[in-house]
Every structure is written in structure tokens, then in C-alpha cells.
């Protein structure tokens, strides 16, 4: 059961089709962790060119999916509600397995250190119980409201 639907996600982050890379949030502990789902389908625009005859989700879009999930966790914090979060860095990114059409991409986010309007999140993209991608993302939250 969804904690947040796609419509509720779009009320929190500015991403829209064709660059909204999650379908729902299924678990959330505010200021701590979040799990979101992205159902990967052959209808995704990027599969037209990446790669014909061998469709693989680009690693940069897996990182973008994780950043979007992280934004939701960050912006659900009372101190950041109504603002916009931006990714400022990526550390220790590892790509361990390919993500293909038909996969259910679980986006796991754990909040790390937060100082003022900046911080880190540890993220993992998991397919069928196996880590596909993991990284630490840095973020900054814009001081102005949306």
C-alpha cells in the first residue's frame, strides 16, 4: 500500500513526466528513511536509444531516481517543507547490476548528516533483492519557498 501516490509525490517535488522516476512511496520514517518504487517499462523514452536490442536503464537515471526519492524524504522534514532540494554531489557510486524493462526498482534512502540546509543521504537501488546501484548523495535545500 502506498504511503504517497504519484499525485502526492508531484505535490512535493517539481519533477514531471518524462523525468519523474518513481511511481509511489511505500515506506517512510520522517527524518530517517524512505522506500519508493519505480516500475521500469519498455515504454520509457530512454530505451529507444539505450540500447536498441539490449534495453538497459542508464546509470545516471538510476541516480536521478534515487535523488528524487531522497528529495521527498528531505522535503517531508518540517524544516524544509515547501522548498526545493538540489543534488550537489555523488560519492562512492557503484553500479552492480543492470536494470531492464520489467524490473521493479526499489529506491532505498537513509538520511545522513544534516547541517543547516545541507546534508547527505545514503541510497540504494534494489532489484529482486539485489543491489543494482548504491551511492552517497549530497544535497542543499534552497532557502526560498517554491
| Model pLDDT for residues 81-106, shown as the tens digit of each residue | 999 999 999 999 999 999 999 999 99
Residue 37 within a domain: yes
Residue 36 within a domain: yes
- Count of the separate structural domains present in the chain: 1
pLDDT at 50 over 80: yes
Question: Active-site residue numbers?
Answer: 50
pLDDT at 146 over 60: no
Q: What integer pLDDT is reported at residue 118 of this predicted model?
A: 97
Q: What integer pLDDT is reported at residue 145 of this predicted model?
A: 56
Residue 30 within a domain: yes
Q: Averaged over 38-67, what is the pLDDT?
A: 96
Residue 1 within a domain: no
Residue 41 within a domain: yes
C-alpha cell at 94: 557503484
Q: Which domain holds residue 30?
A: 6-141
Residue 146 within a domain: no
Measured CA distances, 25 to 3, 33, 47, 114, 145 (Å): 5, 11, 24, 22, 23
Query: Which CATH number characterizes residue 65's domain?
Result: 3.10.129.10
pLDDT at 60 over 70: yes
Amino acid at each position: 500500500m502506498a504511503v504517497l501516490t504519484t499525485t502526492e509525490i508531484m505535490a512535493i517535488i517539481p519533477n514531471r513526466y518524462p523525468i519523474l522516476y518513481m511511481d509511489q512511496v511505500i515506506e517512510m520514517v520522517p527524518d530517517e528513511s524512505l522506500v519508493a518504487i519505480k516500475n521500469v517499462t519498455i515504454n520509457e523514452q530512454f530505451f529507444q536509444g539505450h540500447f536498441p536490442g539490449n534495453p538497459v536503464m542508464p546509470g545516471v537515471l538510476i541516480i536521478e531516481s534515487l535523488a528524487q526519492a531522497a528529495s521527498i524524504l528531505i522535503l517531508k522534514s518540517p524544516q524544509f517543507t515547501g522548498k526545493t532540494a538540489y543534488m550537489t554531489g555523488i560519492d562512492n557510486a557503484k553500479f552492480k547490476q543492470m536494470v531492464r524493462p520489467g524490473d521493479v526498482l526499489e529506491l532505498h534512502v537513509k538520511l545522513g548528516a544534516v547541517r543547516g540546509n545541507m546534508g547527505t543521504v545514503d541510497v540504494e537501488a534494489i532489484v529482486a533483492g539485489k543491489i543494482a546501484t548504491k551511492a552517497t548523495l549530497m544535497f542543499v535545500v534552497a532557502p526560498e519557498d517554491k
